[in-house]
Amino acid sequence: MRYLSLWLTSSAKANPVPLLVVGNITLGGTGKTPLVLALVKALSKQGLRTAIISRGYGGQVGAGPHIISALDSPAYVGDEPYLLYQQSGVPVAVGSDRHAAMQRLLADYQLDLIISDDGLQNRHIKGDVEWLVVDGLRGFGNQQCLPMGPLREPMARTQEVDAIFITAPADTNLSMAAEYAKQQHVYALQPRLTGLRFISNNQPADWPINGCQVHALAGIGNPRRFFADLRAKGLNVEASEFADHHEFTQQDLLPFRGKTLIMTAKDAVKCKAILPHMDTADGATEEQAWYYAEQELTLPAEAIHGLLEQLQRSNLKDANG
3-state secondary structure 148-195: CCCECCCHHHHHCCCEEEEECCCCCCCHHHHHHHCCCEEEEECCEEEE
DSSP state of 145: B
Question: Which uninterrupted H or E stretch holds 114?
Answer: strand 113-117
Looking at the fold, whether 38 and 145 belong to one and the same domain comes out as: yes
Report which secondary-structure segment, H or E, holds 107.
helix 98-108
Q: Each residue of 236-287: pLDDT tens digit?
A: 999 999 999 899 999 999 999 889 999 999 999 999 988 877 754 444 454 5
Structurally, the chain folds into a number of domains equal to 2
| Residues 233 and 261 reside in one and the same domain | yes
Q: What is the pLDDT of residue 59?
A: 87
Residue 72 located in a structural domain = no
Q: In this structure, are strands 50-54 and 113-117 parallel, antiparallel, or unpaired?
A: parallel
Residue 288 maps to a domain: yes
Please give the pLDDT value at position 315.
65
In this structure, the answer to whether residues 242 and 285 fall within a common structural domain is yes
Angle in degrees, CA 151, 155, 161, rounded to 5:
105
The tens digit of pLDDT for each residue in 182-232 reads: 556 888 888 889 999 999 899 999 999 999 999 999 999 889 989 999 999
Q: Within a domain: residue 77?
A: no
Share of the chain above pLDDT 90, in %: 62
118 shares its domain with 198: no
Judge if 283 and 272 occupy the same domain.
yes
What is the pLDDT, as a whole number, of residue 140?
A: 86
- Domain CATH number, residue 16: 3.40.50
Asked whether residue 148 is assigned to any structural domain, the reply reads: yes
Q: Are 141 and 149 in contact (CB under 8 A)?
A: yes
Same domain? For 122 and 14 the reply is: yes
Pair (34, 160) in one structural domain: yes
Q: Domain of 136? A: 6-48+112-191+297-319
- On whether both 160 and 287 belong to a single domain, the answer is no
For residue 54, the model assigns a pLDDT of 96
Q: Per the domain annotation, does 69 fall within a domain?
A: no
Same domain, 310 and 230: no
Q: In DSSP terms, which residues pair with 290 in a beta bridge?
A: 261
Chain Cα centroid distance, residue 205? 24
Per-residue pLDDT tens over the stretch 106-161: 999 999 999 999 999 998 899 999 999 998 878 888 989 999 999 999 998 988 89
In a domain, 93, yes or no: no
Confirm whether 36 is domain-assigned: yes
d(CA 247, CA 62): 17
pLDDT exceeds cutoff 50 at 86: yes
- pLDDT bin (cut points 50, 70, 90) of residue 13 is confident
**Do 202 and 289 reside in the same domain of the chain?**
yes
- 59 inside domain: no
Q: Could you tell me if 13 and 134 lie in one domain? A: yes
The answer on 32 and 139 residing in a single domain is yes
Q: Cα separation of 232 and 159, whole Å?
A: 34
